[in-house]
Structure 1
Amino acid sequence: MGDMGDTADLAADTENWMGRLPEALRAVPLIHLAIPGSHDSGSCTITPDAAVSPDSLPVVRRLAAVFCRLVKRCIYRWSVTQRLSVTQQLAHGIRYLDLRVSSKPEQKELYVVHGMYGAPVSGVLEEVNSFLLQRPNEAVILDLQHFYQMTPEHHSALLALVVRTFGPRLCPVVRSLEEVTLSWLRARGFQVIVVYRSAAARGDPSFWPAGSWPTPWPDTTSVPAMLAFLEDKMAARPANCGLVTQCVLTPDVRFVLLHLWSDLQRSLAQRCDAAILPWLRQLRPGPKGVNVVIYDFVGSACCLARAVISLNRPASPASPAS
């Protein structure tokens, strides 16, 4: 049977989906595949008693200092975007991880953050490393995209940590992303692409610049506004770069105050997922199509990762001339 038949159960084995792609798709540039990703991937490590982090609004940090436990419980409900561990997210098919990093007073370690401090970055990277060591045909895009209270020394330490963790499996920057396919990566033993959105990594061949994978942010609580924004950005995709489609709704302070006793999942993510699934099924990967799709709460009832993986189909043979 042809490649199309081989893709019938493509999303059935989410732990190994890249390795199970037909040869024709392994030869497609990574930027022209549909790849599921998680939004604020490291927020799964935040606990209700964690310290408030520097990415929180100043007013939130001041309130937390005065009304510690009460305010922190509220911040927690709106900061956590993932409940599955990073390893579990990868097992669900996620191949793009969005990490935000901060220093912590009087600590040498760097931590993942999203409103509150999560786990040390070193532990998160080691989870990715362990997953990939057991699956040589899989690859992950790590997007280190926001940094807080980071000195040049902090950046140097983080860059060295990434290189130390992944070593020769880090994919170096190449002139054209059109060259980078799964077959190309596998032939060279590369499994990790790291996008580092800071000038601190400029010129370092191990770290891809921000422009290689633009990640436009809808910044809205409205589903129609989000979808219109995402469609506009997809239609305007520049050549030779990927695109991160952020299928997320983002609360502002007013929204949180109006839904104070709720949380991100109940008030926004469930509504967002219900709209995304039928929208996604109409899309296709390609130069002006979808590439990386990130969303909140991987593993929830709506299995978006499988839907994204299933968008990958070999090109249909050209019809014979009549």
Structure 2
Amino acid sequence: LTIGACFMKLPAKTPSLKQTLVLGSHDAMAYSLDMDSSVLEPNNIKAFDSWLSTPIRPIVKKWSTTQEKNISEQLDAGIRYFDLRVAGKPESSDLFFYHGLYTTMTVKEGMTELEKWLGRHTKEVVILAFSHFKEMSADQHTDLTNFLKEHFKAKLCPKPQDCWESGYQVILSYDNRSVDDPVLWPAIEYWWADKSDPKEVISYLNNQKQKGRPVGLFVAGLNLTFDGMDVHLYLTKSLKEKTMTAYPRLLDWVKEQHSGSDKESVNIIAGDFVGVNSFAQDIIQLNKADSGP
């Protein structure tokens, strides 16, 4: 399984996808959160939304916005793995992305934008990881998977295949056991620390590493999260502030893994605010170092 020229300015011939640092976007569509939508998570805050929506939603958005670049801009920056979380809306027949709040962009709109980008970049391969489904019926799962298959058609890479050499452009991972289809890849394991302190994130990732590499593709999440015990932080800071401060320490961890003897201890590296900080370019440079002159 090769990903070929999936990273900007890399030569067409690269190591296997399992041996390559793939750039990932955590909660990739959270740049378009809707302030007018209801709160979907976390549950302890969702309970207050019906009668405190005006003061609560701006705070939820501040900590749920994980990206600022749209999907085309993320692709241009070199992102090739997209963490996509989908929810149904009681008052709409459309499906939306979400993170704390619903997005303004529908799933169909987001995937249409991505498909157009692939049409302009025919040698690129992307990994779409659909998961964390909320408020969705079995019929909606069927409708969504049918849409994705029809939308990407010949671009979809059947499992397992040499995607790049065969001209496929989309690896479609779908984390729902009730749906089985030869073009749908299984869920991709995501190492998520659920911590707001980068030192604790690194400790968690190191513990996961000691358990051994998962079979197939997997994600090391560099993303921080809100610590519900620190109410002051929640009210006064934003996720972006935390991420920018923590990023150098987290990148050092990636470099340490990549420079060691066991480079397969990392694979997909996912982060927040990709394209805003130097995340994408720094990972690309590590891949370039592997590819030689």
> In the alignment, which residue of structure 1 is the partner of 2:27?
40
> In the alignment, which residue of structure 2 is the partner of 1:74?
59
- RMSD of aligned residue pairs (Cα, Å): 2.1
The number of residues matched between the two structures is 284
Q: SS where residue 178 of structure 2 aligns?
A: helix
* Partner residue of 1:271 out of 238, 242, 245: 245
* Pair 1:293 & 2:280 matched: no
> In the alignment, which residue of structure 2 is the partner of 1:284?
258
* Pair 1:234 & 2:202 matched: no
Distance 2:234 2:291 in 1: 46
Distance 1:147 1:264 in 2: 23
Alignment TM-score, normalising by the size of structure 2: 0.90
The answer to which of 142-151 and 252-261 deviates more is 252-261
* Partner residue of 1:126 out of 92, 95, 112: 112
Distance 1:40 1:271 in 2: 19
User: Deviation per CA, 1:101-157, whole angstroms, max 9, x where unpaired?
Assistant: 000012110000001010211111112111111011111000112100111001001
User: Deviation per CA, 1:5-61, whole angstroms, max 9, x where unpaired?
Assistant: xxxxxxxxxxx7537433541xx22121101111100101113x231243x133322
Q: SS where residue 286 of structure 2 aligns?
A: coil
**Percent of paired sites with the same residue:** 27
Specify whether residues 105 and 287 from structure 1 end up closer, same or farther in structure 2 by C-alpha distance, changes over 3 A only.
Answer: same
* Partner residue of 1:208 out of 159, 169, 185: 185
> In the alignment, which residue of structure 2 is the partner of 1:158?
144
Specify whether residues 109 and 193 from structure 1 end up closer, same or farther in structure 2 by C-alpha distance, changes over 3 A only.
Answer: same
> In the alignment, which residue of structure 2 is the partner of 1:58?
43
Unaligned runs of 5+ in 2: none
> In the alignment, which residue of structure 2 is the partner of 1:185?
163
Q: SS where residue 82 of structure 1 aligns?
A: coil
Specify whether residues 315 and 99 from structure 1 end up closer, same or farther in structure 2 by C-alpha distance, changes over 3 A only.
Answer: closer
User: Deviation per CA, 1:64-111, whole angstroms, max 9, x where unpaired?
Assistant: 211221111111111110011111111111000001100001211000
Distance 1:142 1:257 in 2: 36
Alignment TM-score, normalising by the size of structure 1: 0.82
Pair member with larger Rg: 1
Q: SS where residue 203 of structure 2 aligns?
A: helix
Compute the displacement of 1:228 (Å). Answer: 1.8
* Pair 1:113 & 2:98 matched: yes
Q: SS where residue 259 of structure 1 aligns?
A: helix
Specify whether residues 289 and 99 from structure 1 end up closer, same or farther in structure 2 by C-alpha distance, changes over 3 A only.
Answer: same
Compute the displacement of 1:187 (Å). Answer: 3.1
Specify whether residues 297 and 136 from structure 1 end up closer, same or farther in structure 2 by C-alpha distance, changes over 3 A only.
Answer: same
Unaligned runs of 5+ in 1: 1-15, 175-179, 317-322
Q: SS where residue 279 of structure 1 aligns?
A: helix
* Partner residue of 1:95 out of 72, 76, 80: 80
Compute the displacement of 1:240 (Å). Answer: 4.3
| One-letter amino acid of the counterpart of residue 186, structure 2 | P
Kindly indicate whether the alpha-carbon contact (under 8 Å) linking 2:39 and 2:57 is maintained by their aligned counterparts in 1: no
Distance 1:295 1:19 in 2: 18
Distance 1:243 1:59 in 2: 30
Distance 2:45 2:234 in 1: 16
Kindly indicate whether the alpha-carbon contact (under 8 Å) linking 1:32 and 1:242 is maintained by their aligned counterparts in 2: no
